[in-house]
Every structure is written in structure tokens, then in C-alpha cells.
Amino acid sequence: MKRLLLILLLMIAAPLSAQDGPTPPLANVQLENPAQEARALALMENLRCIQCQGQSIHDSDAPIAEAMRHEVRSRVVAGQSDAEIEGWLIERYGDWVSFAPPASGSGLMLWLAPLLLLGAALWLARGRFGKGRS
């Protein structure tokens, strides 16, 4: 019975220990050059964590956000421009990763969706409240 309990506990604990991987080196370490760190922070504040969905990668503690912060910092150190770094992340994760998606392609729907929903709500409200006045 003790062996069965031990096996059961190990089966439960194994997936929990597998989730914690090594933290990338530049995920939580500031760059030595203050100008490069300022660029990296500005980029990180404008990129969305794909796991947390409402947080920037700067604010998120998710493992994927750590990996994304590492990528941003390492690419800043490598001399890539902000546009190149953001373009690489958008290519890898899609337009949704940016808090300011481009107003073209699939990003166009992200810009138009609120306007379409507002128009539909006004049309429904007009139909609902307009009939009571007749």
C-alpha cells in the first residue's frame, strides 16, 4: 500500500517539476548599457505576453515572457533595430503580440472589430428603443 501511495505521489509531482525550466540569462537581468536597457524596456512594454494575454512581457512572470524578454535584450545587444526586433516577434507569434498591431492584414480586424461592435450595438439600441416612440 505504501508503494502504491509513493508511486501515486511521484506521478502527481513529476509534471509539476517538469514545468520549471531554466530561466534564460537575460530574462531578468538589466543590460549594462543604460541606453540599450531603456530601448529594451520600451520594447518590452509594447509587447504582449502570449500566455497572460493582458500583460506586457515586462510585467509578466510567465516562462514565455521570460524567454521573450531574453530575446529582446539579446537582440538589442546584437544591434538590431526596434522595428527588426518587433518584426521578428510578430512573425513568430503573430500580430496579436503587439499592443499596437499594424492596420493591415489580420491587424486590420483588430482595429475594426471595436468599431463594428459599437455600430452593431447602436443599430440594435436604435431598433429596440426606436419602436417605443411610435
Do the beta carbons of residue 100 and residue 106 sit within 8 Å?
A: no
pTM: 0.62
For residue 124, the enclosing domain spans 102-134
Tell me: do 43 and 108 sit in the same domain: no
Tell me: do 95 and 116 sit in the same domain: no
The answer to whether position 77 is within a domain reads: yes
Tell me: do 65 and 34 sit in the same domain: yes
The answer to whether position 14 is within a domain reads: no
The answer to whether position 92 is within a domain reads: yes
pLDDT band of 102, cuts 50, 70, 90: low
Taking all residues of the chain, what is their mean pLDDT, rounded to a whole number?
82
Check residues 39 and 99 and name the one with the higher pLDDT: 39
Q: Is the pLDDT of residue 14 over 80?
A: no
The answer to whether position 78 is within a domain reads: yes
The answer to whether position 18 is within a domain reads: no
- Distance between CA atoms of 125 and 101, rounded to whole angstroms? 30
Tell me: do 113 and 96 sit in the same domain: no
pLDDT of res. 103? 64
Do the beta carbons of residue 47 and residue 85 sit within 8 Å?
A: no
Total structural domains in the chain? 2
The answer to whether position 13 is within a domain reads: no
The answer to whether position 12 is within a domain reads: no
Mean pLDDT of 15-40: 76
